[in-house]
Amino acid sequence: MRIDILTLFPEMFTGPLSESMIKRARERGLLDLRVHDIRDYTRDKHRTADDRPFGGGPGMVLKPEPIFECVEAAVPKGTPLVYMTPQGRPLTQAKVAELAARESFAVLCGHYEGVDERVREALVTEEISIGDYVLTGGELPAMVLVDAVVRLVPGVLGDEESARQESFAGGVLDCPHYTRPEVYRGMAVPDVLLSGHHGEIARWRREQAEARTRERRPDLADQDLTNGHS
Ligand code: 4HQ
């Protein structure tokens, strides 16, 4: 899978996407992640990437020219371009799975008040929000999106099964997990998990997951997104 990132802050991507699973996916050639500095596509001597909004008001707007030139020079023709914004459709695991099934896509990270509207009209194919809160830029949302997508690319997760069993895979929150020791500071692991009765363990986990979902996320519990499993 190829993912192109367009940003004014390329250094932000060196940390989180160069560790752990994403790092291994890149090393193994499962992920071709390319980060492009929008400022490299400016043409004036001050490398100006933003400007004041027409009509006045606070903040700055990303200029269209460097973004158009970056897309045209660095991203293969026809590649979908995702723009991260609180005005976008809320990100869901279904959308993550849809993106993971693609051969490639690009992500545009805005800053300040956002991008010139002509970029959205002419270049952006979908707008995605990672939640109803305001960040300083689209870089963290882009990293969240890439992380969620890449772990669904076949071969990236060590244990393919773990992805399927986790929270949201079936529209239900995850069950509690325990490891050794059996008792820690007086807190014991539930007996059923030590019983060796696989049927009872599976039932306990399902009940725990459903109870948690009802309690913490009644909105999810009412939806029932179960893809046939559970
Ligand atoms: N921003 N989900 C403002 C976000 C955001 C979000 C990105 C801040 C775009 C211009 N993006 N810039 N929430 O808060 O995606």
Q: Per-residue pLDDT for 46 more than 90?
A: yes
State the closest ligand 1 atom to the C-alpha of 136, by its place in the atom list counted from 1.
8
What digits encode the pLDDT tens for the residues 147-179? Answer: 999 999 998 887 655 665 566 767 899 999 999
Nearest to 147 by CA among 14, 1, 7, 16: 16
How far is Cα 183 from Cα 147, in angstroms, rounded to an integer? 34
Enter the pTM of the model. 0.93
Three-state SS across 151-175?
A: CCCCCCCCCHHHHHHCCCCCCCCCC
Return the number of other C-beta atoms located less than 10 Å from residue 187's C-beta: 9
What digits encode the pLDDT tens for the residues 68-81? Answer: 999 999 999 999 99
As a whole number, mean pLDDT of residues 15-25 equals: 88
pLDDT at site 223: 74
Ligand 1 neighbour 127 (Cβ under 6 A):
no
- State the average pLDDT for the chain: 93
Question: How many angstroms from the chain centroid is the CA of residue 186?
Answer: 38
Q: Per-residue pLDDT for 230 more than 50?
A: no
What digits encode the pLDDT tens for the residues 106-134? Answer: 999 998 899 999 999 999 999 999 999 99
Ligand 1 neighbour 149 (Cβ under 6 A):
no
225 Cβ contact partners less than 8 Å away, ≥ 6 residues apart: 94, 170, 171
220 Cβ contact partners less than 8 Å away, ≥ 6 residues apart: 171, 172, 173, 213
Measured by CA distance, the residue closest to atom 11 of ligand 1 is 85
As a whole number, mean pLDDT of residues 187-192 equals: 98
- Parallel/antiparallel/unpaired status of strands 32-37 and 2-7: parallel
Ligand 1 centroid–CA 59 distance in Å is 15
- Parallel/antiparallel/unpaired status of strands 32-37 and 126-129: unpaired
Ligand 1 binding pocket mutation candidate from 92, 95, 129 (most atoms within 8 A of CB): 129
Name beta bridge partners: 129. Answer: 90
pLDDT at site 222: 82
State the closest ligand 1 atom to the C-alpha of 133, by its place in the atom list counted from 1.
13
State the closest ligand 1 atom to the C-alpha of 128, by its place in the atom list counted from 1.
15
